[in-house]
Amino acid sequence: MALREIVTIPDPVLRRKARKVTEFDGDLQKLIDDMVETLRVAPGVGLAAPQVAVSSRVIVVEFGDEEDETVEPKLYAVVNPEIIKPSEEMVNGVEGCLSVPNLVGDVDRHGSIVVKGQNRHGKPMKIKASGWLARIFQHEIDHLEGVLFTDLANQVWRPQEDETFADV
């Protein structure tokens, strides 16, 4: 495993629609392992392949229980993710991004979603997510479409030094 550089705006890879993954080979396995390591060191809760300058439809998400911080965070690696069932309920929340340093914004997201995709070995998978986990998945899947949270935000600002927000 190796740390990869997280690219930041205005890198053009962040604005490209990422390519569908068709080869579940050693290169993909290395990419996923590197992304997990990079995410943990960053630190963040989600990372999309375009954020490490790879235009492929791959995301990793690591997030624990919002209510109980003693619960070990769960790691998701999803290839070719797609939201197939968004809730009608929209929830506003503050987001930051590892590729958009020093800015946060209020973004409306679906309160819950169902994501389908493939695991790192190409097997189909579905994930039901709500709350912050749903927000993280939506944020990362947006990256695969070349969309940044600042494109969707109602308001964007530089946080004060004493304000802390999770970077997705």
By annotation, the residues acting in catalysis are: 140
List 115's β-bridge partners, or say none.
83, 127
Mapping DSSP to helix (H, G, I), strand (E, B) and coil, where does residue 120 land?
coil
What's the 3-state SS for 13-51?
HHHCCCECCCCCCHHHHHHHHHHHHHHHHCCCCEEEHHH
Contacts of 151 (CB under 8 A, 6+ apart): none
Where on the phi/psi map is residue 50: left (φ > 0), alpha (ψ -120 to 50), or beta?
A: alpha
